[in-house]
């Protein structure tokens, strides 16, 4: 087992930022689909 | 090396995530804008459709009304054409009648001229007849006058005929009486008489108007009241008397219709002649 550092780096932050961006994009897409009467399945 | 790749991948993931987010947001925003525009366009489209329907219905209504009007106008046009044709026929007929009337008018004018000429000739003829009537009236008046004169003459002749008839009857009676007298005296009335027969003297009575002697006082002339109207002639001898006394005889020397003058025959004088003495042809 190699020892790994537990301090979050900038890249972790970038990962969360990208996660938030993806979630925001998905919300936009859902809202767009709702505009066309999409019911989720 | 792995770290580098991981980092690169993380960065790429970040970039793509951000890009995804941006595109999703752009899609959402643009979609919303386009949706609003589509809804407004749909609303406008619906309004336009309604307007189109309304206009179409209006158009159909107008078309139907226009068709009806066209049909009506066509009917009117046909009627007008028929009327026009009738009027044209009437016009032709009227022109023909006018021509006939003109011809008849010309004929009547000609007849009128002839009638005027005839009237003038009749007038001249009536004047001539009037003059002839005047002449005939004058002749009639002359004839009436002549007839009255002839009627007068006829009356005179009738009265004369009556007198002559009475005289004829008297003469017949006298002849009968004389024949009786001759028969009583035994004289033949058919015996032939030889010698001159003295003229019969009618008895005429008059009076002496005046008597005077001539300038030499040798002859006494007597004017008496009878003349040729009473049958007195020249050289006729008359007897002058007064009452029952014979005075003298006179011989007529001058005679007039109502008087005569006689010369006293001195050899027969038996008295003096005075005015008012009677004179007669025979006693």
Which pLDDT tens digit goes with each residue over B226-258? Answer: 998 888 888 888 999 998 889 999 999 999 999
Predicted local confidence at residue A29, as pLDDT: 87
| ipTM at complex level | 0.76
Predicted local confidence at residue B159, as pLDDT: 93
Predicted local confidence at residue A1, as pLDDT: 41
In a mutational test of the A interface, the residue from B28, B29, B36, B37 whose CB has the highest number of chain A CBs within 10 Å is B28
Residue B182: which residues within 8 A CB-CB, separation 6 or more? B188, B189
CB-CB contact of B225 with B278 (8 Å): no
Region B198-214 average pLDDT: 82
pLDDT tops 60 at residue A4: no
- Give the rounded percent of residues in chain B with a pLDDT score beyond 90: 45
In a mutational test of the B interface, the residue from A12, A21, A23 whose CB has the highest number of chain B CBs within 10 Å is A21
Predicted local confidence at residue B277, as pLDDT: 92
Residue B189: which pLDDT band, with cuts at 50, 70 and 90?
confident
Calculate how close chain A gets to B21, using CA atoms only, in Å. 4
Region B12-19 average pLDDT: 88
> For A10, which residue in chain B has the nearest alpha carbon?
B7
Region A7-31 average pLDDT: 87
Please state, in angstroms and rounded to a whole number, the distance separating the CA atoms of residues B53 and B61: 12
Cβ neighbours of B27 in A, within 8 Å: 28-29, 32
pLDDT tops 50 at residue A2: no
Predicted local confidence at residue B113, as pLDDT: 94
Which pLDDT tens digit goes with each residue over B164-180? Answer: 999 999 999 999 999 88
What mean pLDDT, rounded, does chain B reach? 89
Residue of higher predicted confidence among B7 and B112: B112
What's the burial of B279, exposed, middle or buried (CB within 10 Å: 0-12/13-18/19+)?
buried
Please state, in angstroms and rounded to a whole number, the distance separating the CA atoms of residues B203 and B200: 10
pLDDT tops 90 at residue B35: no
Region B188-202 average pLDDT: 70
Cβ neighbours of A22 in B, within 8 Å: 17, 20-21
**pTM here?**
0.31
- Residue A4 to residues A1, A8, A16, B86, B248, Cα–Cα distance (Å): 9, 11, 20, 122, 252
pLDDT tops 60 at residue B1: no
Predicted local confidence at residue B188, as pLDDT: 80
Q: Do B21 and A24 touch (CB under 8 A)?
A: yes
Residue B196: which pLDDT band, with cuts at 50, 70 and 90?
low
> For B3, which residue in chain A has the nearest alpha carbon?
A11
Tokens of B47: 């309004």
pLDDT tops 70 at residue B197: no
pLDDT tops 90 at residue B126: yes
pLDDT tops 70 at residue B158: yes
- Give the rounded percent of residues in chain A with a pLDDT score beyond 70: 80
Predicted local confidence at residue B225, as pLDDT: 92
Please state, in angstroms and rounded to a whole number, the distance separating the CA atoms of residues B72 and B179: 140
Region B94-99 average pLDDT: 94
């Amino acid at each position: 087992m190699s020892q790994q550092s537990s301090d979050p780096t900038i890249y972790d932050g970038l990962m969360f930022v990208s996660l938030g961006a993806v979630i925001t994009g998905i919300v936009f897409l859902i809202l767009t689909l709702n505009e066309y009467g999409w019911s989720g399945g | 090396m792995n770290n580098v790749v991981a980092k690169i991948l993380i960065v790429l993931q970040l970039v793509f995530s951000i890009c995804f987010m941006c595109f999703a947001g752009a899609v959402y925003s643009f979609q919303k804008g386009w949706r609003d525009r589509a809804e407004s366009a749909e609303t406008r489209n619906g309004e336009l459709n309604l307007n189109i329907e309304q206009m179409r219905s209006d158009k159909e209504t107008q078309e139907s009304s226009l068709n009806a009007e066209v049909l009506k106008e066509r009917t009117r046009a046909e009627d007008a054409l028929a009327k026009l044709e009738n009027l044209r026929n009437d016009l032709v007929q009227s022109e023909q009648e006018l021509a006939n009337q003109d011809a008849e008018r010309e004929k009547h004018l000609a007849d009128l001229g002839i009638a005027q000429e005839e009237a003038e000739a009749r007038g001249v003829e009536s004047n001539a007849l009037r003059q002839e009537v005047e002449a005939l009236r004058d002749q009639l008046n002359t004839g009436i006058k002549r007839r009255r004169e002839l009627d007068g003459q006829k009356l005179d002749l009738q009265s004369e005929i009556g007198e002559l008839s009475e005289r004829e009857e008297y003469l017949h009676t006298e002849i009968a009486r004389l024949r009786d007298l001759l028969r009583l005296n035994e004289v033949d009335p058919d015996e032939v008489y030889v010698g001159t027969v003295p003229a019969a003297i009618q008895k005429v009575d008059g009076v002496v108007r005046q008597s005077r002697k001539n300038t030499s006082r040798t002859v006494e002339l007597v004017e008496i009241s009878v003349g040729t109207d009473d049958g007195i002639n020249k050289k006729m001898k008359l007897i002058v008397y007064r009452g029952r006394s014979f005075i003298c005889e006179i011989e007529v020397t001058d005679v007039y219709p109502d008087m005569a003058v006689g010369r006293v025959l001195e050899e027969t004088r038996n008295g003096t002649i005075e005015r008012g003495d009677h004179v007669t042809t025979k006693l």
